[in-house]
Amino acid sequence: MDWMEKELERLNDASLERLLRGSAATPQLPGYTLRGERLLLNLASNDYLGLAQHPAIIDQMRETLLAEGSGSGASRLVTGNRWPYIVLEERLSRWQGSEAALVFANGYMANSGVISALVGRNDVVFSDRFNHASIVDGIGLSRAEHARYRHNDMEHLEALLNKHQDKRRKLIVTDAVFSMDGDAASLVKLAELKRKYGTMLMVDEAHSGGIYGECGRGLCNELGIQHEVDIHMGTFSKSFGVYGAYVCGSRTLIRWLVNKARPLIYSTALPPSIVTGIAAALSLVEAEQWRRERLFSLSASFRSRLLHAGFKVGTGNSPIVPVIVGDNEAVLRFSKALERKGIEAVAIRPPTVPEGTARIRFSLTAAHSDKEVNNAAEIICATGHQLGLIRR
């Protein structure tokens, strides 16, 4: 095992070693995170709507836990398909206006399972270069050809679509909002290309479900292209504040996935308490428009403060606000300096993002107040000056 030690040293020397951080202390507070004994303003979570500590979700989970027990006991195809799944999937298909829905244990398993169930050796997947790792891994598992197009470059995609006309099955797959960049995919154009070239279209709404669209249905709904999307996927781990993932689509699609998606077939079903927790979160996501309004207003003012200060900030209007620093060591210094000043801001480095684009990925939540976000923006700008990251 010596090689491992050496490789880890090499990663550490290049400021690329990843560390698990956190605290054994409790309790957690909405919008904050504990580091040791210190409370930090959390500008790094995906709890966009501030639901992860919501009493209605917790009460529902507790009630189900007491009634149904701690585990589901088996995979869904054996005896794990308990009533909360049936109720939730019906509600999800109504929410999304789809024929059917299927719950997966998490987004990683949904993406890897769905893609490897849809395509195989003689097929091709057209995938944005910035798509999430779970999509990339799903393509790898499927053994289909991976045709990566430059980020949001529709001309490049069209050239690849032309090149691969002879393939058996064709799938275009994209994040709706890109997780490390916060910008949106060109979904209207993707729907047009899907029609023109007769491909399947899969959209991952992990960072847009719950946030965009009527009742939080997502960006495809907001743009009016929902019915062009064959495979509509999203997670419950981010804006829903719980855990798990969904796929919505036709009855045939869901029937196919029940038969072919290996992470669904060969893994134990989520505990019933998680599933009813998701249902409670769905009620809040649908009803509480004020959370989305608050989130967008906080994100817009935070983004504009950082832009005006001279930071290189990602585009878009999502709650993901990346500040591109470039150098791996410099981004770690920035993150540590912010931590000393009471802000949790995580450095994202290659291979998660391309070489030379290391960044702090700030993300906002409706759990924060204007005052907290304004103070944080001030501290971030002052720290950027001190470290020589901005000149203005």
Ligand X SMILES: Cc1ncc(COP(=O)(O)O)c(C=O)c1O
The one-character DSSP state at 226 is G
Task: Report the nearest approach of ligand X to the CB of residue 107 (Å).
Answer: 2
Quick one: how far is CA 256 from the chain centroid?
A: 24
Residue selected from 85, 95, 108, 311 as contacting ligand X according to rule CB under 6 A: 108
371 tagged catalytic = no
Does 42 participate in binding ligand X (rule CB under 6 A)? no
Task: Report the nearest approach of ligand X to the CB of residue 13 (Å).
Answer: 27
Residue selected from 132, 170, 349, 361 as contacting ligand X according to rule CB under 6 A: 132
**287 phi and psi angles, rounded to 5 deg:** -90, -35
Q: Which is nearer to ligand X, 138 or 272 (CB)?
A: 138
Segment near ligand X (CB under 6 A); pick from 100-108, 183-191, 282-290, 383-391: 100-108
172: three-class secondary structure by DSSP: strand
Give me 84's structure tokens: 């909360």
Task: Report the nearest approach of ligand X to the CB of residue 371 (Å).
Answer: 29
Residue selected from 226, 235, 276, 365 as contacting ligand X according to rule CB under 6 A: 235
Pairing of strands 124-128, 170-175: parallel
Residue selected from 134, 199, 221, 276 as contacting ligand X according to rule CB under 6 A: 134
The packing angle between helices 289-309 and 370-386, to 10°, is 20
**Distance from the first to the final alpha carbon of the chain:** 49
84: three-class secondary structure by DSSP: helix
> Taking the CB of residue 138, how many other CB atoms lie within 10 A of it?
29
207 tagged catalytic = yes
Q: Which is nearer to ligand X, 15 or 352 (CB)?
A: 352
Task: Report the nearest approach of ligand X to the CB of residue 353 (Å).
Answer: 13
Does 199 participate in binding ligand X (rule CB under 6 A)? no
Query: Residues 179, 208, 273, 335: which is the catalytic one?
Result: 179
238 tagged catalytic = yes
Residues with Cβ within 8 Å of residue 56, at least 6 apart in sequence: 280, 283, 284
Q: Which is nearer to ligand X, 42 or 235 (CB)?
A: 235
CA-only gyration radius of the chain, Å: 21
Query: Residues 54, 194, 207, 368: which is the catalytic one?
Result: 207
Give me 121's structure tokens: 């050796």
User: What CA dihedral angle connects 244, 32, 27 and 105, to 10 degrees?
Assistant: 10
Does 181 participate in binding ligand X (rule CB under 6 A)? no
Interface with ligand X (CB under 6 A): 106-108, 111, 132, 134, 175, 179, 204, 206-207, 235, 237, 245
